[in-house]
């Protein structure tokens, strides 16, 4: 049994045509090699299409996760606190294990990429030499005063600031609306400026706590007076 391909116009055995239910003779009208060729020609377009689709879905998924966190924040926190209180040893043990596993994994990855990364970094530095120099000079001018101030302040303060930055980074999920977060910080500065009272942006559920850790997302931020913020410690139970 043969069938003529509508694309290459060659008669070929029917097994060289893909099965398609309900189509003429239950076989595709173009032969498998022709189909393959067609798919290859469309590959770049498909990549672009798939990426666009993935991007559009990502927005939706992030939005859903954001909504969920907003709707269920108190419940989730209460549940997590209860669970942690009842299973503290087990949770701690699990966290310890995970931490060490992650360390190992990161080490392997770093070792694998070490040579490649350093080569790439070096090439990039070569390519952008002039740009880097001007940038560094501008930066040094701009932050000279700031660096002096930081040096004046104690080493303890620096360490605390570094820990704080790491905690914020750690608590920012992929679905966080960065623009919304920035808007809240901006608004806090604006209120401080117009009222002359120092306002801070505060995490409703603290990022670092013994009981449960909040997220660095707009839904977990509030603008409070500095006085209120400094009174509040990083303990979830202290917040009411
Ligand atoms: Zn063909």
In a domain, 33, yes or no: yes
Residues of the chain with pLDDT under 50: 234-240
In a domain, 109, yes or no: yes
Distance 28 CA to ligand 1 centre (A): 10
How confident is the model at residue 8, as a pLDDT? 94
Query: Last residue of a domain, which of 135, 170, 195?
Result: 135
Query: Last residue of a domain, which of 135, 153, 168?
Result: 135
What is the count of structural domains for the chain? 2
How confident is the model at residue 167, as a pLDDT? 83
In a domain, 213, yes or no: no
Distance 33 CA to ligand 1 centre (A): 6
In a domain, 65, yes or no: no
How confident is the model at residue 141, as a pLDDT? 80
What is the SS3 assignment for 49-92? HHHHHHHHHHHHHHHHHHHHHHHHHHHHHHHHHHHHHHCHHHHH
Q: Has this prediction a pTM greater than 0.85?
A: no
In a domain, 54, yes or no: no
Q: Which domain holds residue 36?
A: 2-41
How confident is the model at residue 184, as a pLDDT? 93
Spell out the residues 6+ positions from residue 193 whose beta carbon is closer than 8 angstroms to its own. Answer: none
Distance 40 CA to ligand 1 centre (A): 14
CA distance between the termini of the chain: 81
């Amino acid at each position: 049994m043969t069938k003529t391909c509508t694309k290459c116009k060659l008669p070929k055995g029917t097994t060289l045509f893909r099965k398609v239910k309900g189509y003429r003779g239950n076989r595709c009208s173009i032969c498998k090699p022709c189909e393959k060729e067609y798919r290859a020609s469309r590959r770049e377009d498909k990549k672009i299409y798939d990426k666009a689709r993935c991007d559009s879905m990502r927005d939706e998924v992030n939005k859903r996760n954001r909504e969920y966190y907003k709707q269920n924040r108190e419940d989730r926190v209460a549940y997590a606190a209860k669970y942690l209180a009842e299973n503290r040893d087990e949770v701690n043990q699990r966290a310890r294990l995970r931490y060490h596993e992650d360390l190992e994994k990161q080490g392997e990855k770093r070792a694998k990429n070490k040579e490649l990364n350093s080569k790439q970094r070096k090439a990039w530095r070569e390519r952008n030499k002039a740009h880097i120099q001007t940038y560094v000079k501008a930066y040094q001018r701009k932050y000279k005063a700031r660096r002096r101030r930081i040096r004046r302040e104690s080493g303890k303060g620096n360490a605390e600031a570094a820990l704080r930055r790491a905690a914020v980074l750690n608590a920012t999920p992929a679905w966080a609306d960065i623009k919304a977060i920035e808007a809240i910080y901006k608004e806090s500065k604006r209120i401080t400026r117009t009222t002359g009272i120092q306002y801070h942006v505060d995490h409703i559920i603290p990022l670092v706590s013994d009981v449960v850790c909040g997220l660095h997302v707009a839904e977990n931020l509030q603008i409070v007076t500095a006085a209120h913020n400094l009174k509040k410690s990083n303990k979830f139970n202290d917040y009411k």
